[in-house]
Amino acid sequence: MIALTAAEIAEITDGRLDADPGITPDSVVTDSREAAPGSLYVAKPGELADGHDFVDAAFRQGAVLVLAERPVTGPDGANYPAVVVEDAVLAMGALAAESVRRIRAAREAAGESLTVIGITGSAGKTTTKDLLAGILTTQGTTVAPQGSYNGEVGVPLTVFRADTGTRYLVIEMGATGVGHIRYLADMVQPDVGVVLGVGTAHAGEFGGVENIVQAKGELVEALAPGGTAILNLDDDRVAGMRARTRAAVLGFSAEDRHDAAVRADKPDTNPAGNPEFDLVLPGTDAGLHVTSRLIGAHHTVNLLAAASAAHAAGVPAAEIAESLSNQSAASRWRMERTERADGVTVINDAYNANPESMRAALRTLADLGRGRRTWAVLGAMLELGPDSIREHTAVGTQVVRLNISRLVVVGREARSLYVSAVQEGSWGDECVFAETLEDAYAFLDAELEPGDLVLFKSSNSVGLRHLGDRIALPPQSPEPANERSGLL
């Protein structure tokens, strides 16, 4: 973290200082349980809890200052040392923006540079972020988000982990409305902006796909003329963003578009489902072969996006290809494969779901499952708005047409998926509807057999990732099932 005194924090955030002005925190947390000696604790109001209720706990853990929206009194009747602001989240953003500015200035004064890379898209952001960070780490000190920190709280928390020794700062940018990515981009001032794709995820929240296009394009609009916009030219909506940026455009394509400077030649998947291709980058005479350790052909887009951004950051082509071939999935529940001792294979891809990623996961299941009994355990895709029933119906139809052996649909919000599969396939017991996660577990625990391949896929809050973890555990038949129910 860049060093900021309490007095500077108050000035940057237009806050009221109620503390020793010389207090200098060395980390920032928004969870009191993560506070440590020297922390700045941000007491932000939340949907389920108010951070102000945990100020005492944060100081017991060692916090030295709180960024709060009102004073908080300790057991001794005195206020905790604080900077009091109108909006704690916006204050975090102001501190993050000043941190980036100071880091950049300090590095430039030392004859060095800071490269900030922003990544957005309806799917694949976290995987691309992980891949890119893996490449850049071989070149210099790199800070990238933990998990999927990609919003108005997560982006500042990522920035606060950077300091004047940081060479590369990778920022994942999510949004639930127009203007959100513009806010994040203004905060971190990216040198490189990556747009992966525009899907129908969150269409309900955004008020339509065109608003998603508007929001994702805010990243490339924020780039300076000396920056680089990395665009997926296989997505026509993204390709159209070329007209919205002052930066140089570096396009990539997994579908052999000849106007793309970065391409995947001879794309394929090996028997394990890993993408393979010859990576073509500007300035290379021949493609460099990449055999990824990720699962699913759809990851070719993420691999190309990471390669493009790394190229824009100056990484040699051979080192990009080598790193992409050596990296496995770094974040959990993204096509995470587990081989059980009894021969059941579990693929847990239930961190999130939208129509595009659902279709990609099912195609991967069908490809990997040739000669095996395949299971699709599916839950709802949330935040689709008025398109929800239509999109779930289309997924149910796809399951049947891909000849997936068995389908388990979990939860009422996904029932239209179950109904469409039954109608499309006239299935009997090949298709099961489970009201709850516990019902689904009991069914799968009884029915899975050695050699089966089972995919778990749903939106995050549905919780299928936890069901997938539970099924991935080795069978423990002597232990009563009700004693294991706490794992969900």
The string of pLDDT tens digits covering residues 83-135 is 999 999 999 999 999 999 999 999 999 999 999 999 999 888 999 999 999 99
Residue 21 pLDDT level (bands cut at 50, 70, 90)? very high
- Per the confidence metrics, is the pTM higher than 0.75? yes
Q: What is the pLDDT of residue 478?
A: 41
Residue 360 corresponds to which tokens in the numbers above? 């990609």
411-454 residue pLDDT tens: 999 999 999 999 888 666 789 999 999 999 999 999 999 999 99
**Longest CA span, the chain:** 72
Mean pLDDT (the chain, rounded): 91
Antiparallel, parallel or unpaired: β 228-232 and 192-195: parallel
pLDDT above 80 for 227: yes
* Rg (alpha carbons) of the chain, rounded to whole number: 24
Tokens of 59: 């100081």
3-state secondary structure the chain: CCCCCHHHHHHHHCCEEECCCCCCCCEEECCHHHCCCCEEEECCECCCCEHHHHHHHHHHCCCCEEEECCCCECCCCCECCEEECCCHHHHHHHHHHHHHHHHHHHHHHCCCCCEEEEEECCCCHHHHHHHHHHHHHCCCCEECCCCCCCCCCHHHHHHCCCCCCCCEEEEECCCCCCCHHHHHHHHHCCCEEEECCCCCCCHHHHCCHHHHHHHHCHHHHCCCCCCEEEEECCCHHHHHHHHHCCCEEEEEECCCCCCCCEEEEEEEECCCCCEEEEEECCCCCCCEEEECCCCCCCHHHHHHHHHHHHHHCCCCHHHHHHHHHHCCCCCCCCCEEEECCCCCEEEECCCCCCHHHHHHHHHHHHHHCCCCCEEEEECCCCCCHHHHHHHHHHHHHHHHHCCCCEEEEECHHHHHHHHHHHHHHCCCCCEEEECCHHHHHHHHHHHCCCCCEEEEECCHHHCHHHHHHHHHCCCCCCCCHHHCHHHC
Mean predicted confidence (pLDDT) in 296-308: 95
Percent of the chain with pLDDT over 90: 79
At 200, is the pLDDT very low, low, confident or very high (cuts 50, 70, 90)? low
Question: pLDDT band at residue 219, thresholds of 50, 70 and 90?
Answer: very high
Tell the burial category of 436 from Cβ atoms under 10 Å away from its Cβ (0-12, 13-18, 19+): middle
Of 204, 299, 199, 198, nearest in space to 240 by CA: 198
Q: Which of 9-23, 102-116, 376-390 has the lowest mean pLDDT?
A: 376-390
Task: Name the residue among 69, 66, 47 with its Cα closest to residue 56.
Answer: 66
Backbone angles phi, psi at 192, to 5 degrees: -130, 135
CA distance 147 to 159: 14
Task: Average the pLDDT over each of 92-101, 348-357, 402-411, 467-476 and give the range with the smallest value.
Answer: 467-476
Contact between residue 219 and residue 193 where contact means Cβ atoms under 8 Å apart: yes
pLDDT digit string, tens, across residues 238-267? 999 999 999 999 999 998 787 899 999 999
- What is the band of 203 on the pLDDT scale with cuts at 50, 70, 90? low
- 213-244 burial, b at 16+ Cβ within 10 Å, e below that, comes to bbbbbbbbbbbeeebbbbbbbbbebbbebeeb
Q: Kindly tell me if the per-residue pLDDT of 456 is higher than 80.
A: yes
pLDDT of residue 201: 58
When pLDDT is cut at 50, 70 and 90, the band that residue 481 belongs to is very low
Q: 321 CB contacts (<8 Å, ≥6 apart)?
A: 279, 288, 289, 290, 307
Task: To the nearest 10°, report the CA torsion of 295, 300, 303, 304.
Answer: 180
- CA-CA-CA-CA torsion sign (89, 113, 134, 253): positive
